[in-house]
Amino acid sequence: MRVVFMGTPDFAVPTLEAIVSAGHTVSLVVSRPDKPRGRGQKPLPSPVKEAALAMGLPVEHPAKLDGDFIQRLRDLKVDVGVVAAFGRILPKALLEALPKGWINVHASLLPRYRGAAPIHRSVINGDAETGITTMLMSEGLDEGDMLLQASLPIGPNDKTGQVHDALAQLGARLLIETLDGWEKGTIKPVPQDHAQSSYASMLTRVDEQIQWEQSAEAIHNRVRGMNPWPGAYTMDQGKILKVIAGRLRREGFPLSHSGAPGEIVDVAGDEVAVATGSGLYWLAEVRPAGGKTMTAGSFVRGRRIGTGFRFG
């Protein structure tokens, strides 16, 4: 089929590459405009644009997805649109413009986690499973009929970055299976059960901050859910301390300890035990404001703090 592909971040790159490898014709790639990045704030292309140019594919980032853009797709004789983490809402006229519609690659098992941050939210919530849903796009946010689904287990120590990368590969495979079945007419769209839906809202600064009154397990899920981006943090006497990694257990130590939430109750080598609302959370790697990532043990020794000091 002749495909128009819309995507922006790393997550979408494997899907674009898979479409090309499967022999479909990518008539056009649409991505978000170049953004200033790095210390020099030099405008750089999105990962999708970079990958598309490397494969010799035409790339555009139109300001409007209106009649002129629709006519361009018709002139290219595009059959179907594929969207993977594009970052823009498609207007109704565009959704109705292609013969075989628009297929979205969504990083959750719909109807759970509609919205902008399904991967982060599933890890933060401690889910044991997530997955990919390919769906027909509609005007409602991630409300379209489902085409195919595939699940992915989430380990108790998996981080968002790991889950993201695994879902990106799974999404690419499922999209090719979807395109094949959609072209042959062997896939029947299934309406979502809207009563079972949930929303994965964009992350805020509040989501990033560790609340030591929560359980150790909830804190662990938040830390791994924010890794590698945007990073969970706690406050260290008015300064932000990023918590990069930690764990719930350390052999030979009790699971709990008397201490106020956020209080350091033990320092053992590279790790630091902090009391929570329920149980201990062992800090493993942290990054102070303006500094580099280091072990939690190195940080507290450098700060000359120890048992009795309280974060938050």
What are the tokens at 106?
A: 């969504």
pLDDT at position 261, please?
98
* CA proximity to 125, closest of 192, 206, 207, 193: 207
pTM exceeds 0.85: yes
Q: Give Cβ neighbours of residue 242 (< 8 Å, ≥ 6 apart).
A: 231, 232, 233, 286, 287, 288, 293
Which residues lie across from 135 on neighbouring strands? Answer: 104, 146
pLDDT at position 241, please?
98
Please state the residue numbers annotated as binding site for (6S)-5,6,7,8-tetrahydrofolate. Answer: 108-111
Q: How many CB atoms lie under 10 A from the CB of residue 169?
A: 14
Report pLDDT digits (tens) over 165-193.
Answer: 999 999 999 999 999 999 999 999 999 99
Decide: 1 and 74 in contact? Cβ < 8 Å. no
**Rounded CA gap, 90 and 83, in Å?**
10
Specify the residue for token string 């938050």: 312
**Rounded CA gap, 234 and 90, in Å?**
38
Please state the residue numbers annotated as binding site. Answer: 108-111
CATH of the structural domain 2-200, one choice from 3.40.1280.10, 1.20.58.1910, 3.40.50.170, 3.40.50.300: 3.40.50.170
Quote the longest CA-to-CA distance of the chain.
71
Res. 38 pLDDT band, cuts 50 70 90: confident
Q: Domain ranges for the chain, please list them.
A: 2-200, 206-310
Report pLDDT digits (tens) over 67-123.
Answer: 999 999 999 999 999 999 998 999 999 999 999 999 999 999 999 999 999 999 999
Residue 54 scores a pLDDT above 90: yes
> What is the DSSP track for the chain?
-EEEEEE-SGGGHHHHHHHHHTT-EEEEEE-PPPEEETTTTEEE--HHHHHHHHTT--EE--S--SHHHHHHHHHTT--EEEEES--SPPPHHHHTSSTT-EEEEESSSTTTTBSS-HHHHHHHTT-SEEEEEEEE--SSTT-SPEEEEEEEE--TT--HHHHHHHHHHHHHHHHHHHHHHHHHT----B---GGG--B-PPP-HHHHB--TTSBHHHHHHHHHHTTTTT-EEEEETTEEEEEEEEES--TTS-S--S--TTBEEEEETTEEEEE-SBSEEEEEEEEETTS--EEHHHHHHHHT--TT-B--
Q: How many CB atoms lie under 10 A from the CB of residue 89?
A: 10
Report pLDDT digits (tens) over 257-303.
Answer: 889 999 999 999 999 999 999 999 999 999 999 999 999 999 999 99
Angle at 54 (CA atoms; ends 51, 55), nearest 5 degrees:
90
What are the tokens at 12?
A: 């979408």
What are the tokens at 160?
A: 């968002």
* CA proximity to 241, closest of 307, 310, 157, 308: 310
Fold of 206-310: Methionyl-tRNA Fmet Formyltransferase; Chain A, domain 2 (3.10.25)
